[in-house]
Structure 1
Amino acid sequence: MRQGILLYGPPTAGKDTITAALTELDKRYTPFTRLKVGTGRTKGYRMGTPEQLAALEAEDGVVYRNDRYGNIYIVDRPGLDHAMKSLRTPVVHLGRMVGMEQVAALFPARWVRVLLWCSKETTAHRSPQRGDTDTAARLAAWDDTQADLAAHPRARWELRVDTDRTAPREAAQGIDDIVRATRPDR
């Protein structure tokens, strides 16, 4: 059975940092590179066009679509299929509960769900440090994430990590322990 990790949390909660720590622990972990249609930051994305998005939508290839910061971010079926080849475990970053639900429901795999959290003050501090030019939008997204999480009090998490207090390597080890306990090839 295919396996993946869903990391949910507000901007700057450490999704990239913890994903990097996971890949250091085991090369089977691979960052899932979402398709992005729009402008701005390109690092960490597969840049696409509106025509590519329309073709994916026509083929039922969009697992989850999120419109934010004036861009469109897509978790796509062909991308997930590719990321899971050779028993690799993709790490998918999400900031909306609907995305968590859609990916888990529409793409068959054993998904380990992890809530990463940090304070709003931490987001305000980390955002400009990582080069964001839209920190105000990131803080608004933090508020949206908090409201989104509160609206889903029964959400199921295999692990919750407070990244204000937990080192990335320690968080990655906790996630890895859960994945290894449920890995189909163990």
Structure 2
Amino acid sequence: MTILNQPSTAFTRSLANSHLAVKAAAVVFGSLLIAAATQIEVPFFPVPMTMQTFAVLLVGLLFGARLGAVAVLTYLAEATLGLPVLSGGASMAMMFVKPATAGYLVGFVGAAFVAGLIAERTAGRFWGVVAAAFAGEVVLMALGVAFLAWLIGAEKAVTFGLIPFVLGDLLKIVLAVAVARGVGRLSLPGAL
């Protein structure tokens, strides 16, 4: 019998039962993973294609809903502080010049939370993790495309902010699920 709201994998359970310092280190590591993945990019207009989606989904799947969302918020705080963690080494100040990606950045928080929540509630089962990653992606794209539509119109937002990313994001979902399933079998040492 599966108990709802329990961490989904050995890794997630061991992280949830770790000391606050370990959780804080994981959050910082998650934010740095997202920042590193962001630098792997293919230039598109008006929104570049990066590996951010992969990292955001992975952090949500492995850390769970709350810590996953906190890791993404930490990443956004780093950008707000002026660190060059956004696409192309930009900081949050660039959002005033090129706001097209703002909705996607907000969507990252929702994506990590939703992916983590569904993974938790499905106890890390394969199809649950797949559904979690897909649902996280849907949240991310819904918020990103909605904000982009507000800026440039719905038709252009779908044409430039959704369609070019579908195949790549499906591949990133597959990769995030595969890595989460592999790493999810590991657990942190009990002394942490």
State the TM-score, normalizing by the size of structure 1: 0.31
State the TM-score, normalizing by the size of structure 2: 0.30
Quick one: higher RCO (CA 8 Å, sep 6+), 1 or 2? 1
Q: Which has the higher helix share?
A: 2
